[in-house]
Structures are given as structure tokens and as C-alpha cells.
Structure 1
Amino acid sequence: MIQEYQKSNFKNRSKKALVLIALSISIVACNKPAEAVKEVKTAYVDTSELMKEYTEAKDLESKYKSKSEEKGKQLEAEINRFKQEAANFQAQAQANGQAWAQQKGAELQKREQQLGYAQQALSQELQAESGKEMDSLVSGVKKFIKAYGKEKGYAYIYGTGDAASILYAEDKFDITKEIIKALNDKYKAPAKTEEKAAVKK
């Protein structure tokens, strides 16, 4: 009988002990200092500003501006010749008669159409070329930001600008300048390596 009493008493005490241990664990967990809770590190990048200030994007824009001017020179010369002929057409039509005016007018109309098609074709060609390079550049920037985020311990890096995905954020979370500097440093780095190699030769 005494043994049974001791067993039940032991069981009750061990149950109480377990309850006390559980309570003390939950109290300790609730009283954890704020510093112990890991802060989620977030930031955002103004993509419009990034593309304006990123040297490679500026170089790409400059490259296609030059290409457009270069390829457009010949076409521009033809357009100017056409404008001159069209301007002289009125005076010549009176001197050469109606039959000549009709024939010449049809020729000028056809040439105007051809020049329009040529302008359109040139514009589409340059857009397709620059579009491919710009897609590649944007893809590279995304990969860079992803790697940068991992290295710096960010949980999230959002994008604002033309394709805004944030409606409000405090300025302290803006890392646009950091990203621009890091991207520009990375873009300049191969050029410096090439310069060193040239000096060694």
C-alpha cells in the first residue's frame, strides 16, 4: 500500500515537474530579447535611375545613336534629293505639260513610298539589334542584383521606377546608388585588365 502511494506520488510530482519545465521554457521563449529575433533585411532599387546612370546602358544607347546616324546618312541624302525634286516639280510641270506632270508625279509618289519603307526597315533593324543587346544587359543586371543581395544578406530587393512594384518605401532602404557603383565598377574592371595586358606587351 505504501509502495502504491509512493508510486502515485512520484507520478504526480513528475507530472508537475514536466508542467513546470514546459512553463519555464515558454516563459523564456516569450521573454527573448528583441535583438535575438533576426531582422529581415530589405531594400529597393530605382530601376529608371539605374538604367540612366549605368555606364554599360549609356554606352549601348550611344552605340545605337551613332549606328542610327551612320546608317541614316545615305537615306537622308536620298530624302533630301527627293524633297528638292518635289519642290521643283511645280515649276517644271507648267513648262513640260500635263502628260509629263502625271508621269513625274506618279514617279515621285512611288519614290516617296519606297523612302518611307526604307526608313521603317532601318528603324526596325536597329530596334531588333538594340533590343537583343538591351535584353541581355537587363538579364545581366538582374543576375548581378540577385548575387549582390545574397552577398549582402538581403531577404528582398524590390524594384521601383517605370515598372514599379513598390508604392512607398523609406529612403534608408534605397540602395540604387550602391548598385549603380558596384555595376559600374564591375563594367570598368575588364577594361582595366585589358589595359594592363596591353602595357605588358
Structure 2
Amino acid sequence: MKKSTHLVLYAILFTCISILLIKQFVPNKVDSRSTVTKNTFEKKEIAKESPLRLNIAYVNSDTVSKYYNYAKKLQKSLSTKRDEAEGQIKNKYSSYEVLVREFEKASPIMGDREKMEKAQKIRMLEQEIMKVEQQLSQQLSSEELRLTEKYILKTNEFMQEIGKNLGFDYVMSYRVGGAMLYANSEFDITLEIIELLNQKYDTLK
């Protein structure tokens, strides 16, 4: 009987201890989960309230070059200078060809001294043409560099003001075959930028 009673008491005591242990540890586990959930929720709320959002747009640089008045003026100016340089070279070559034809035509009846003088004149004209061609090429390259640099600096000045006024963090340049492989058309502001650039350029006239 005593042994049986002891067993019952041990069972009751074990049950009580188990209940106490459950009460002790289970709430802590729930609280821990609650704390994690709360922290996660707070982090999400912070992310919602202060997201790192960048306002980005892009323009098609080929289209800008085609319709931007400053770019068109630059292209026209450079084309005119190239045509002028080519014209000078062509005139020199025309004079050279005339001299060569005259020499070939009159060569059979020329004396040795006259032949040498005419041949020397032709060689000098050849050297002059080469020299003029080289000089014009260098001048044209320098002028292209100067005008292009001026264009880039002024256009960059315009874009800094335009981009800021429109509220963009970045305005990127896109062209087929360029570094940007894909661009969402929703962020294409090419036409708007062309209009604003032309307005800025018109103020310089």
C-alpha cells in the first residue's frame, strides 16, 4: 500500500514539475517568436518609410543627334569645313593633272634641260599637294576636336540643369549596339529632352 502510494505521489509530482517546465519555457518561445516577428515587421515598415529609390530615365543618343539643333549645327559646320578642305585638295590635284598631261604631250619634242625643269616642277607640285593635304587634315582634326569639346561641355551644362529640374537622379544614354542592352520604353524621355535642349540652345543665339 505504501509503495503504491509512493508511486502515485511520484507520478503527481512528476506531472506538476512537467507542467511548471512547460509554463516556464513555452511562453519564452512564443515571446521569442513574437519579438522576431515584431522586429521583422518594424524593419519592413522602416523600408517602406525610407526606401532607396532612384529616379532614372534615358534618352536615345542617335535620335538626339538627329534632332538636337546644336548637334545639327555642329555636323553642318564640320561638313562645310571638310568640303572646303577637299575643294582645296581637288584644285591642287587638277593643276597637277594639267601639268602632267602637258608634260607628257610635249615631252617628245622637249630638250633634256626643259624636261628636267618640267619634271622638277611636277615633283615640287606633288610635294606641295602632300604637304597641303596633311596640313588641312591636321587643321580639320583640331577644329573638329575643338567644336566637339565645346558641344559636349555646353550640352552637359544644359543636361545638368534639365535633369535637376525634372527631378531625375540619372539620365542615361542609350543607343542600339551600345553598352545598355535593354531599356524599358516607359523611361524613355528622348523627345522631351530634345525639346528642352533646343530651348536651351535657342537662348544662346
Question: Given the two structures, how large is their TM-score scaled by the length of structure 1?
Answer: 0.69
What is the aligned partner in structure 1 of residue 201 from structure 2?
Answer: 187
Of residues 111, 114, 126, the one that matches 2:125 is: 111
Of residues 128, 151, 155, the one that matches 1:137 is: 151
Of residues 134, 138, 157, the one that matches 1:120 is: 134
Q: Aligned AA for 1:82?
A: Y
SS for the counterpart of 1:148 is helix
What is the aligned partner in structure 2 of residue 173 from structure 1?
Answer: 187
SS for the counterpart of 2:183 is coil
Of residues 49, 62, 84, the one that matches 2:63 is: 49
Q: Aligned AA for 1:131?
A: L
Of residues 88, 93, 106, the one that matches 2:102 is: 88
User: How many angstroms does 1:158 deviate by?
Assistant: 1.8
What is the aligned partner in structure 2 of residue 152 from structure 1?
Answer: 166
Number of residue pairs matched by the alignment: 176
Decide whether the 8 Å contact of 1:158 with 1:165 is kept in 2: no
Structure 1 residues 33 and 74, CA, compared in 2 at 3 Å: closer, same or farther?
Answer: closer
What is the aligned partner in structure 1 of residue 93 from structure 2?
Answer: 79
Q: Which runs of 5+ in 2 are unaligned?
A: 1-29
1:164 aligns with 2:185: no
1:63 aligns with 2:72: no
What is the aligned partner in structure 2 of residue 4 from structure 1?
Answer: none
Q: Matched residues in 2 for 1:30 and 1:68: separation?
A: 62
Q: Aligned AA for 1:132?
A: R
Q: Matched residues in 1 for 2:65 and 2:181: separation?
A: 20
User: How many angstroms does 1:109 deviate by?
Assistant: 1.9
Q: Matched residues in 2 for 1:130 and 1:38: separation?
A: 42
The CA RMSD measured in Å over matched residues stands at: 3.4
Q: Aligned AA for 1:138?
A: I
Q: Matched residues in 2 for 1:176 and 1:87: separation?
A: 56
User: How many angstroms does 1:63 deviate by?
Assistant: 2.5
Q: What's the CA shift string for 1:128-159, capped at 9, x where partnerless?
A: 12311211111222232233222222232222
Q: Matched residues in 2 for 1:186 and 1:164: separation?
A: 27
Q: Which runs of 5+ in 1 are unaligned?
A: 1-15, 192-201
Q: Aligned AA for 1:156?
A: Y
Q: Matched residues in 1 for 2:149 and 2:177: separation?
A: 15
Q: Aligned AA for 2:69?
A: T
- Identity %, equivalent residues: 24
Write the mapping of 1:21-36 to structure 2, written as runs, cut at 5 A. Answer: 23-24=37-38, 26-27=40-41, 29-30=43-44
